[in-house]
Amino acid sequence: MNLINTVSALLILVASVSIAVALRRARPRATLTTAIGSLLSVNGLTVLACAAAVALSLLAPAPALAQTAEATGASTTAMGAALATGLACIGAGIAVGIAGAAAIGGITEKPEILGRTLIFVGLAEGIAIYGLIISFMILNA
């Protein structure tokens, strides 16, 4: 846990230094607004969390599977379930984005096709549910 605190403090320090360096440039108010907005946004927090995870994995590497007593166990099962759900959700997001854009374009030209377009968007969302069902099947096996 001490390692996590150290990495978090380091990330906060790096973010603070980068904001301070940016503030010394020409437009400090606009720079400060942009920096704080990006740090507080969901994308900024996601980037910080990913950077912390990468730093933790580099500072404390996991042992190789050959060195562990249990090479195929709960960890590989959980990884398979996570991949099933994650990849299905990514595919569903892509499909909903394409179908939703086409549905909005179609509705603007012909408003009476709203029901049919919602069916296509719903079918695309079903892909994520299928991935979730598969992950439940993997975890309960």
Nearest to 55 by CA among 1, 18, 8: 8
Question: Mean of the per-residue pLDDT values for the chain?
Answer: 76
pLDDT in tens, 41-58: 655 666 677 677 767 766
Query: At the topology level of CATH, where does 66-140 sit?
Result: F1FO ATP Synthase (1.20.20)
Place of tokens 């996570």: 82
Q: What angle do CA 66, 72, 75 make, to 5 degrees?
A: 105
> Of all residues in the chain, what percent are helix, strand and coil, respectively (each to 5)?
85, 0, 15
pLDDT in tens, 73-111: 667 788 888 888 989 989 898 888 899 999 999 999 999
Please check whether residue 135 is in contact with residue 106, taking contact to mean a CB–CB distance below 8 angstroms.
Answer: no
Domain boundaries, the chain: 2-59, 66-140
Question: Over the Cα atoms of the chain, what is R_g?
Answer: 23
